């Protein structure tokens, strides 16, 4: 019986996952590609006009920032239930993988939500 469809798939492009436990995970490839190894906090923003999730990495805590937890895989994770609910993300459908881009001008990771 072929069980390869049950194996977790990690994208081969910079991405994040909004998990069904309300966490946001920046994949290891994203961390490596954008040089986020020393990141300790993430500031989460939502642009309703562009329907984008914007994430500002930081080494210092600021108002509204989320503490980063590092997984063994190298992924960076924050638990943002309040934030995700406030912007209307409902996790009843399971996890979502979203490609991300680096906005050099503003120093943000940007993911298109729609």
Rounded to an integer, what distance in angstroms lies between the CA atom of residue 40 and that of residue 58? 6
Examine residue 92 and state whether it is found in any structural domain, yes or no: yes
pLDDT tens digits in sequence order for the chain, 114 residues long: 544 444 456 678 999 999 988 999 999 999 999 999 999 999 999 999 999 999 999 999 999 899 999 998 889 999 999 999 999 887 666 788 999 999 999 999 999 988
pLDDT of residue 3: 47
Examine residue 41 and state whether it is found in any structural domain, yes or no: yes
Examine residue 16 and state whether it is found in any structural domain, yes or no: yes
CA nearest to 30, candidates 80, 63, 70:
70
Examine residue 2 and state whether it is found in any structural domain, yes or no: no
Examine residue 7 and state whether it is found in any structural domain, yes or no: no
Domain limits for position 54: 12-112
Domain count, the chain: 1
Examine residue 61 and state whether it is found in any structural domain, yes or no: yes
Cα atoms in the 13 Å half-sphere on the side-chain side of 50: 9
Helix and strand totals (H; E) in the chain: 2, 9
pLDDT of residue 89: 84
Statement: the pTM of the whole predicted model exceeds 0.95: no
Torsion sign over Cα 112, 73, 84, 7: positive
pLDDT of residue 9: 63
């Amino acid at each position: 019986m072929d069980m390869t469809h049950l194996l977790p798939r990690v994208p081969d492009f910079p991405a994040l996952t909004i998990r069904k436990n309300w966490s946001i995970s920046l994949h290891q490839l994203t961390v490596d590609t954008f040089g986020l190894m020393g990141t300790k906090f993430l500031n989460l923003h939502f642009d309703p006009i562009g329907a984008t999730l914007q994430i500002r990495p930081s080494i210092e805590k600021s108002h509204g920032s989320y503490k980063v937890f590092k997984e063994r895989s190298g992924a960076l994770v924050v638990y943002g239930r309040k934030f995700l609910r406030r912007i209307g993300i409902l996790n009843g459908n399971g996890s979502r993988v979203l490609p991300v881009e680096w906005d050099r001008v503003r120093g943000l990771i940007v993911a298109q939500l729609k």
